[in-house]
Structure 1
Amino acid sequence: MAFAGRSGLTVDIKSKEDPLTALFNEELGAVFQIKKSDYSKFVSVLASHGVSEDFVSVVATPVFDFKQEIKVCVNGEEVLANTRAKLQQTWSLTSYNIQKLRDNPQAAEQEFQAIADNHDPGLTYKLAFDPTDDLSLSTLTTRPKVAILREQGVNGQQEMAWCFKQAGFDSIDVHMSDIISGKVTLDEFVGLAACGGFSYGDVLGAGNGWAKSVLYNDRARSEFI
């Protein structure tokens, strides 16, 4: 979260265990990023679902300054402190070295060095519209059906469906297994959108895996050709 938001972070873990045990345990849990002003409401929502406030605690607070330092403490004792830039470059080093071999090495170098630029806001957006606006599509008598196509590991289908819905389409969730089994035929739709995300674990050649699930299956192949 600090890497994507280009901010500092102060983490404080409360534990009776030693720091490594506390930080790298595999106990069930979840981390939520919320506004400070929403904390009471957040606790109330969890309580309404049977999660007591005894199991809720603040583990980290963002620090918005130019230094962007990340500190990790256990029971108030600092165990790690470094800049966001240094930690993010360390985290990205393997990807950077692969990218230099796979892609344009100069572009890979520029991208890697941009991580250390605290003036670079990273991935940000500035909306020039209100996403809740009515796009005056109420006059439509029908909404053309579009297939929101996904495969194992894909995670962008909801955003894609929302965009098409806002543009006046009827978004239908279609998994590749629906096509392969014959449960769904693409003849029902005016178009399709193949969603992004971590298809097939996002490994090198993952796109080939998705393509072959079409090419090497007669039923699926006939749908796309």
Structure 2
Amino acid sequence: QNRFMFGGQARVPMVLRTQGGSGRGNAAQHSKSLEAWFAHVAGLKLVMPSTPADAKGLLTAAIRDDNPVIFLEHKLLYRTKGQVPEGEHLVPLGSADVKRAGTDLTIVTWSREVLFSLDAAAKLADDGIAAEVVDVRTLVPLDTETILGSVRKTHRLLVVHEAIKRGGYGAEIAAMVAEEAFDDLDAPPKRLAGLETPIPYAQHLEKTVVPQVDDIVRAAKELVA
């Protein structure tokens, strides 16, 4: 908050890289998704990449930013492989990415749930449902223009995240769409998120408390029914 208190004359070019998320049997102590906490602190920027290329480009942008940036990485994404541009690569903070185009509903998501949502979109396509997957990439600042543009095309919104539903960042996105694009909606915005419980240690139980591919497919079908 120093930049605000000193009228923009002070710079705080700091990046804090940290990790979170479930999926490795780390139990309740090490599996939380805390993006909503960080997003609620005025002055912090918040990044949650889903691909190696985005991680490189967003980290470059974060390092060059004069504000403090929380770079929150899902621990299971460290195993992800993908093409990464050589040399200079920068993804501006506050720029969402349409990872898959569609016309029947918009799935807005971030971090590991992007991969699940893309798999779900492929399954939905087999049933004739074209889901558009929007990866927000940065939660603060949020690219509302890309989200609203997609919703105005598909007329339906499903927000998917791993953190628990109550107080989750998905509520912020759903509220923003309801305020800005209410007349464009053919159905109420829908949220799919983690259950309100600590993450279990047993991995077969762990999967039941955060959205999986089949959960996304089911929620999407309910939305377009």
TM-score by length of 1: 0.27
Q: Which has the larger helix fraction?
A: 1
Higher radius of gyration, 1 or 2: 1
